[in-house]
Amino acid sequence: MNHEETRKSVVPSGGLHGIEVRPIRREERTRWDELMRQYHYLGLHSLIG
């Protein structure tokens, strides 16, 4: 798999209705860390920026 293939997204046929993209809230940080550790392909690392 090359770099471009890893950047492609698949959108379900029903679209992304109801999806909200926003910064996490302070009280959500612990859960966000858990989900990143568990599901993100690179795991959890320090945030930059």
Tell me the pLDDT tens digit for each residue of 17-28.
888 889 999 999
CA distance 19 to 22: 10
Is 4 inside a domain boundary? Answer: no
Q: Would 44 be classed as within a structural domain?
A: yes
Task: Note the pLDDT of residue 8.
Answer: 62
- Structure pTM? 0.51
The reply to whether 3 falls in a domain is no
- Average of per-residue pLDDT values in the chain: 79
- Of the candidates 41, 34, 49, 29, which has an alpha carbon nearest to the alpha carbon of residue 5? 41
So what's the pLDDT on residue 26? 95
In-domain check, residue 6:
no
Residue 35 in any domain: the answer is yes
Domain containing 42 equals 24-48
Q: Which residue has the tokens 């999806």?
A: 19
Structurally, the chain folds into a number of domains equal to 1
* Residues 33 and 44: beta-carbon distance below 8 Å: yes
Q: How high is the pLDDT of residue 29?
A: 92
Instruction: Indicate the DSSP class of residue 13.
Output: T
Q: Is residue 5 part of a domain?
A: no
Residues of the chain falling short of pLDDT 50: none
Q: Is residue 1 part of a domain?
A: no
Q: Is residue 2 part of a domain?
A: no
